[in-house]
Structure formats: C-alpha cells, structure tokens
Chains A and B, each alone.
Chain A
Amino acid sequence: MSGTHAHTVAFVADGKLPDLPPPPGASGAIGWIRENLFSGPLNTILTLASIAVVALALPGVLDWALFKSVWNASSLSECRSIIAESFGEGQGGACWAVIRERFDQLLYGFYPAELRWRPNVAFVLLIVAIAPILFDNVRALAVGAAAIVALKALAGAAGVVDGGVGGLFGATTVVLAAAGALAWFFGGGAHRRYWLMFSAAFPVIAYFLLWGGLGLEPVASSRFGGFLLTMIIGVTGIAASLPLGILLALGRQSKLIFIHAICVGFIEFIRGVPLITLLFVASTLLNYFMPPGTNFDLILRVLIMVTLFASAYMAEVIRGGLAALPKGQYEAADAMGLTYAQSMRLIVLPQALKISIPGIVNTFIGLFKDTTLVAVIGLLDPLGLTNPIRADSNWNGIVWELYGFIAFCFFLFCFGMSRYSMHLEGRLRAGERR
C-alpha cells in the first residue's frame, strides 16, 4: 500500500505499480562483491585475511612445484645439484623426475610392459561403459575421444611421449577412435539401450582383458598394482555395492522378520568392524576355511570384502532416503494395485535414490580412498608402491613429490565424482521443480 494513501481509511489501488530496476550496486559484479565479500565488518576482515594468506603462500608453493622444479634427472641427488646450479644453493624445488621415471610403475604396478595396452584398452572401454549410465546422451564421448587422439598425435609429434609410432597407433588409439566414431553416429538417446547392453557386458570383457584367457596371455594377480589396482577395486566396489546396498536397505525395511534380522545383523556387523580387519581376514584367515589346495585369488577376496563393507554403509544411506519418502507415496502405489516389486522399482526407489545421492556419492568417495588400505595386506596399490620406490638408493629421501602426486590423482577422481553428483542433483531437480 503506497504511502500517499496512508492517511485515508478506505483505499483502492488505482493501478499496477510499475517494475523498477534495482538501485545501482545491488546487482551485478559490484553487488555480488559487496554482498558476498564485504557484507559486514567480520566478513570484511575474513576476506582480507584470506587474501593475505593466499598472497603469502601461493608464490612459495608455485615456486616449489613449478618454477624451481626438476623434471629430468635420474636420482634425488642429481635433482638437488640441478636446483643448486640453476637457482642457487639452499633453494627448494620439487623433484618431479621421480614421477616421470616411475610413472609406468605407479600406473600399472608390475603388469608386464608389453601387455600394458590391455589395461589401457580396458580403461577406454570402462569410460565407454560408464558414459551411458551417467549421461542420457553419449555423443560427448566422440568429442573426448577426438581430443585425446589429437593430444596423443601432438605429443608424439613433439616427442614428449616415448614409444613413437607403436605408442601412437596402438590398440588404445584404435579403440578410442572406434568408440568415438560409434558415439558420434549412434550416440543419441535412441540407441542408448545398446550402449547399456555393452555396459552390462563390460565386466566380463574387462576380466579377460586384464587377467588374460580366451587366447590372451594370462597375467597373475600378483603383478597387478598402481592405479590399475585402485581402479579395479574402486570401480568394482562402487558398481557392486550400490545394488547390494539397495537390497540390504529394502530387506531391512521388510516385514518378514527373518529377512529383516539377517539384513540388520549383516549391516551392523560389517559397520562395527574396521575395514582393515576384514582385509586381514581376506588375506590370511580365509584360507584356513577353504579346502586345502584351493587357490582363491587375493584380489578377488579383497574385492568381495570391499564390496561387502561399502554395501553396508550404502544400505544405511539408502535407508535414509526410503525413510524420507512420505508414507503417502507407498500408499498411493499400493492403492493402485502395483505389486511390491513394481512399486519399489517405479515409485519408491527412483525417489529414494534421488534423495540419497549426496550420501551415496559420499560412500563412493570413501570407498575409492579406502582402496589404499590394501597396501597393508601387501598389494601394491600406489601407496604400496611408495615404499619400494623410496627404498631405491636413487630416490632415497623423496617424500613430498611422491605422496603429493598420488594425493593429486586421488583428488582428481574424488572431485570428479563430487561434481558429477552435483550435476545429477541439479538435473533431477530441474525435472520436477517443487
């Protein structure tokens, strides 16, 4: 009610008030800065303090990691002498040469060098298998594949990567190019079914590629290591723990007392035991329960344990989502005559899983980082490899570069998962604005 009429008792608005632009400084870049960085004395102090910290720390970090770092050397002492020569005595710089020298080992462990194209191809196929699950449209794969092939060609031409023609036109490039071309022509939503069929078949394909068989030379589990091992455990654990967790969560809600008890017992037991304990059981104790002479692959045992462990946490996350659904949704589904399986699949789970996305991704990230625990039972994941590398007399004493690199790689994966979950939440929210 406008002030001009405030003195009169009876009042009728005589028209619509016009929309005016906001006053200057309330919107746009200045508005944003004022509102978010300098909205009050406390905020202003915090902003200035943060700028000061960044300004103090950043030059040192950049100096160490980039400007005064060494990429070509064969030992830590050589690194140090190069740094002393070019930047003066007492200057600190990163010795990235260790990563360069041990890069293949950090990626594949002791996987035979001449067979490393197989993990590479498996990795490319993994991305092809995941894409249709994560996105409605897989056409972006074509762009990604083209970019990587182009990068490889450029790097080859510049002589940055070794291996020459063999490395450039090897199996990985061929598979990449083929997948990219397929994605370009058949990436639309209409063919999504076939891409998903490939996703379902991928675990079998990956198994034979990595371990051999079907005419491929077999590779023993003991030779697996590095990020290859991390990916195997992480991806299998993630893919297997979600469906298992869903079943456990539904079982926990079941009115059938027996199923309910089994699920609750399993979840509470697994959650109550540290993962390391389970891994030790997998590596040592389990053999005592097997008939003599059985050879139960260590990686498989670890995969089972990690999956069971993550699925218990997953079940609790999903239970939260199920509990958050209004009872009316269950009742509406029942009242229509949907069977239990139909109402779960069509009504309850799509909504419960959507609510649970942050928790699910949180569990995924935790699981992915927990894969480093396998180092404790002697598997050579990236962290497990740091010990032999640091025991090498050439690299004795190197710490920051090795662990920093591994941390950076883990961060990339986990950050990627986190961003994807935010993207997914946004996409699902856009569909059904409440």
Chain B
Amino acid sequence: MNAPADAAVQDRAIDRSNMKVSDEIAVELVGMNKWYGEFHVLKDINLTVNKGERIVICGPSGSGKSTLIRCINRLEEHQKGRIIVDGIELTSDLKKIDEIRREVGMVFQHFNLFPHLTILENCTLAPIWVRKVPKREAEQTAMHFLERVRIPEQANKYPGQLSGGQQQRVAIARALCMRPNVMLFDEPTSALDPEMIKEVLDTMIGLAEEGMTMLCVTHEMGFARQVANRVIFMDRGQIVEQNEPEEFFNNPRSDRTKLFLSQILGH
C-alpha cells in the first residue's frame, strides 16, 4: 500500500451529498470480447455503469483492465459484443465514434499533454475544434477548470515546465473542458512521484464529490475504499469479482482476489 497516498485520501472528510447513483445507464458492455491476433485479451465482459457511479478497476498487470476502458472510447476495437455509451452504440461508424469520444473524457498514465501548446491551448483545443465553441468562451471554461485543479497561474506555460502532478491535473482539466458525461482514468497516478500522487487524487476526489461518472483503473486502494461505490477485480481478461469496496477489501470471495489483495496491501 502506498503510505503517503493513503494518508492523503484519509486526511479529509469526503462530502457525499452529491454522490448519487442514478437509474440512468451511462455505459453498458454486453458480452464484449477482444482479441490481439490469436490472444484473447477480454473475455465476455458484462458491465453496466449507471450515471454517477465511481468504479475502480484493479487487477494484476496484463489482466486487460486498461484495454477494457480503452475499448469504451474506441482507442481499442472490440471484436464481439456490444458497447453502448450514453445510449449510442459503438460501431465502426466514424460519426458514432466521434460522438462518443466527445462525451467521454480520458486521463492517461503518461498525461499525453501536447508539448507544443501552452496549458491554456491544451485545454481549449478540443472545445474549439470539436465542439466549435468560440475561442473567448473556450478560454473562460478552460480557466474555470484550471482554477478547479488549482493551477490557473500556469495557464501560459508549456507542459514541459510543469511537474508531473501538475501535468496530470492539467490533463484532468483538459478532459473536463469538453464537459464529458463519463471520465475514464487509465492509471492516472502510476507515473508520478509519491509526493505528487496526493494532489492528483485530491482532484479526482473533488470530481467524484460533484457526481461525475468515473471509471478508474488504479492501484490506489485507499482511493478505491474512500471514493468508489464498486470495485472490480480483473484477471486474465475476465471480471473475477466485483463488490462494494467495504465487502471487497474485508471479505474477498475468490482466491485470486485474496492473493492479489494480500500482495498489494501486504507491505
């Protein structure tokens, strides 16, 4: 367990007043399968995510958890089954793909900010070109979200001038500028120094408090315990166990989950 990060998550009371899970479905995966050549990476994935849910996906490396969330916005193509995001079914129709990508924000392990653009330009690019928002308005929105991730003063710097934690917070703000309905996080703290994990997790907790639908691949078990309403454990391409965090951590059912938890929480 990551001690500083765990402390970070626990040192503030979480406001749960806006964390409501609605009956409406945000993301639905039905019998989804994916192969890399001959290799069966994702096996019969069934998952329904309601609006307002905060889901943490964990599992050993190579278990297919990143691939799973990358299928939701078509960074990876699935070969069988259905993916429905916000009522739109994901097919090879480019229009549908772009439509879904507009509604789904993504934060990457390595931030993937555009190094040739300033922080502000990083945040306004997609709203201006994809949503066709006027430049002035896009900049106001961007400044609003940069303030929320607490780095408005860096707006005119370039990504290379920021620390890793700051870059990841910008990446979150950049995704939020598109006003997405769903946010995907692909190991957002794995590439960060321990002392920077806290600031990113804080930002993510803030997002959860506002009722954002989140799917989060992470090893931050403290975050999962505090924020998630459901934890999913994956191994070898399939969902092995899912449960509320309390039950998941205190009373894991499958042997594979027990082994994983003992390894990750053991030291």
Residues of chain A at the chain B interface (Cβ within 8 Å) = 326, 328-329, 331-332, 334-339, 342, 346-347, 350-351, 354, 431-434
Contacts and interface: CB of A to CB of B under 8 A. Distances in A.
A338 B129 CA distance: 7
B116 A431 contact: yes
A241 to B, nearest CB: 24
Nearest to A347: B114
Interface in B154-199: 158-161, 174, 178
B160 A335 contact: no
Interface in B85-136: 98-99, 101-102, 104-106, 108, 110-116, 125-126, 129-130
B75 interface: yes
B116 A351 contact: yes
A433 B160 contact: yes
B158 A432 contact: yes
A335 B130 contact: no
A434 B75 CA distance: 27
A351 B130 CA distance: 20
Interface string B32-61: 000000000000000000000000000000
B73 interface: yes
A339 B101 CA distance: 11
Contacts of A342: 129-130
Contacts of A334: 74-75, 101
B251 to A, nearest CB: 36
B158 A331 contact: no
9 contacts: A329-B112, A335-B73, A335-B101, A338-B129, A342-B129, A347-B114, A351-B114, A431-B116, A432-B116
B160 A434 contact: yes
B114 A338 contact: no
A332 B114 contact: yes
B83 to A, nearest CB: 15
Contacts of A350: 116
Given A328-B112, A332-B108, A334-B75, A433 B158 contact: yes
A331 B112 contact: yes
Nearest to A434: B160
Interface residues of B, number: 28
Contact of B108 (A331, A337, A351, A432): A331
Contacts of A337: 98-99, 101-102, 126, 130, 178
Contacts of B125: 336, 338, 346
A432 B130 contact: no
Contacts of A338: 125-126, 129-130
B158 A336 contact: no
A425 B159 CA distance: 18
Given A331-B112, A336-B174, A433-B161, 16 more contacts: A326-B110, A326-B112, A328-B108, A329-B114, A331-B75, A331-B108, A332-B106, A332-B108, A334-B75, A335-B73, A336-B101, A338-B125, A339-B98, A342-B129, A346-B125, A432-B160
A431 B114 CA distance: 13
Nearest to B158: A432
A409 B115 CA distance: 39
A433 B159 CA distance: 9
A432 B111 CA distance: 16
Nearest to A337: B101
Nearest to A340: B94
A37 B115 CA distance: 38
Nearest to B171: A332
B68 to A, nearest CB: 15
Contacts of B112: 326, 328-329, 331-332
Contacts of A335: 73, 75, 101, 104-106, 108
Contacts of A347: 114
B101 A351 contact: no
3 closest residue pairs by CB, A with B: A337-B101, A332-B112, A328-B112
Contacts of B110: 326, 328
A337 B106 CA distance: 11
Contacts of B104: 335
A293 B158 CA distance: 60
A328 B178 CA distance: 19
Nearest to B104: A335
B141 to A, nearest CB: 14
Contacts of A336: 101, 125-126, 130, 174, 178
A326 B114 CA distance: 11
A433 B104 CA distance: 31
B182 to A, nearest CB: 12
A431 B116 CA distance: 8
B175 to A, nearest CB: 8
A221 to B, nearest CB: 43
Contacts of B178: 336-337
Nearest to B101: A337
Specify which of A328, A336, A346 lies most central, judged by the most chain B CB atoms within 10 Å of its CB.
A336
B82 to A, nearest CB: 21
A360 B172 CA distance: 36
A346 B158 contact: no
A354 B115 CA distance: 12
Contact of B129 (A328, A329, A346, A432): A346
